[in-house]
Amino acid sequence: MMAKVKTKAKLKAEARLKATKVDTGSMPTLAVIALTLGLLFWLRQDALDIYWQQTRHGELGLTHLSDAELWHSGTDVTKVVSRTLNQQIGAMEETQERLMLAANVLWLGKSALIQKDEPAPATAQKTHTTNGLTLKAHADGIAASVSTSPVAGKKMNKEIGSNAGQSQKEPDKVASVSSDAQLHTTEAVTETEENRAVPLNQFASLNEDGRIVLSPSDKVLLVGDSMMQGVAPHVARALQNGNVKSLDLSRQSTGLTYPGYFDWPTTIKNTISKERISVLVVFLGANDTWDMVFGNKYERFGSEKWQLTYASRVESIVRYAHAQHIRVIWLGAPNMGRENINRGVKVLNQLFSAAIKDSASRYLSTRELLSDNAETYQKAITREDGKSVTVRNEDGIHFTRAGQKILSDLILRQFALPTVSKPL
């Protein structure tokens, strides 16, 4: 009996010893994981803070975890490493290019050098160009052919200008539409890759309906958040069919509230400095109805300081575009299926609208198009033929294909595209 008791006690002791050995054996692994996480937080504290602000709309607090200079030096180390890696990658690419050129010279002779010096065709990402445009009005499926010729009637003027609120002609009047279009066409013929980024010396003209007259030498810049990501491809395709170029820079989870995460004013300015843009189209706001962070402090959404800061960012975009003779089309945010965001976008829309102060730009409200009642969010709307069409996704923010088409048609109605002759 005693032997059995000892045996059981011995077995229990062995089991405890084995468990202790297992726990002890896992300690180095846990230590490595903890050390790796600590190193990651030290090196990328600023990036993690910005990501947390944008996605969680709160303060992670890594950069303020310690006042020690050693802690904050992690960001500097990251910058140095990144810069060094980029330099090495650049050197490797240059070496590879030189080796390829040397091989081509050996194989093809001097002709390889001549081909090397010729300008390469433009390959700007998401840039579109070709011929022809047919639009559908609102959600009723009625096709409307667009050209530079005036379209009589108050209804068309209402479609173009009622939401915009800005359809009158410029104070600094330019020549007639026909001569201006001819000027644009001549520029398109003589344009080269080298002078494409030369700034405009006048705004694109308006025709008698208030449409912005575009030609093959013009380019439309499309920017915004994930709402624009759904709409931009439809706009780009129609412009492409009208032989007008476009550049789509839309990017999800972006806005004007967190420039540390993505800085739209700077991105737009940098793009305009490199591209010959005639019209800028902006559609954002879904990610902007949150508190701002100023240093260690939060500024509540909608406060006076918040609105002044946000408005200054909107105005900086419009002001810079105008200085480059670029027209701006700014879309207001639609009603949202989430009440907190819906309240917020109404504030944003007021700021957007207030920033459009002259006839060089226009503000387009979208609430009336995506709801039977402009003050109410609707997942589906009623068409003029009485049929219901779903225009919003389940998340209450984004759009179905039908909703995307309604918004893209709203944008396209602001333009008079070149008349494309069909082959006989």
- Bridging pattern class, strands 134-137 and 361-364: unpaired
Q: Which residue's structure tokens are 């907190």?
A: 340
Q: What is the pLDDT of residues 264-284, one digit of tens each?
A: 999 999 999 999 999 999 999
Taking the whole predicted model, whether its pTM rises above 0.85 is answered as: no
- What's the token pair of residue 211? 């449409």
CA of 155: how far to CAs of 152, 209, 409, in Å? 9, 10, 16
Please give the Cα distance from 420 to 409 (Å, whole number). Answer: 19
DSSP state of 214: -
Beta-carbon-side half-sphere exposure of residue 229 (alpha carbons within 13 Å): 12
263, 242, 301: which is closest to 57 by C-alpha? 301
* 330 against 46, higher pLDDT: 330
Q: Could you read off the pLDDT of 21-49 as tens digits, one per residue?
A: 545 556 777 777 877 876 766 666 555 55
Give the pLDDT confidence score for residue 173 in this predicted structure.
37
pLDDT digits (tens, 9 = 90+) for 95-142: 877 787 777 777 776 665 554 434 333 333 444 333 333 233 333 332
* Mean pLDDT for the chain overall: 75
- In whole angstroms, give the CA distance from residue 161 to residue 356: 13
pLDDT at 325 over 60: yes
Give the E-state strand segments of 263-337 in sequence order. Answer: 279-283, 292-294, 297-299, 327-331
Amino acid (1-letter code) at residue 34: A
d(CA 271, CA 419): 28
Token pair of 407 as six digits: 């918004």
Contacts for 93-96: CB closer than 8 Å, 24+ residues apart: none
Largest Cα separation within the chain, whole Å, is 114
pLDDT digits (tens, 9 = 90+) for 197-236: 566 889 999 999 999 999 999 999 999 999 999 999 999 9
Rounded to whole angstroms, how far apart are CA atoms 58 and 79? Answer: 25
Q: What gap in Å lies between CA 264 and CA 389, rounded to an integer?
A: 33
| pLDDT, position 64 | 58
Cα gap 160→210, rounded to integer Å: 7
**First-last CA distance in the chain:** 109
Residues 6+ apart with CB under 8 A from 94: none
Distant-in-sequence, close-in-space partners of 232: CB < 8 Å, separation ≥ 6: 222, 224, 248, 250
Give the span between the Cα atoms of 210 and 156, in whole angstroms. Answer: 10
SS3 135: strand
Q: What percent of the chain has pLDDT over 90?
A: 47
Q: CA–CA distance from 73 to each of 34, 36, 61, 229 (Å)? A: 20, 17, 16, 37
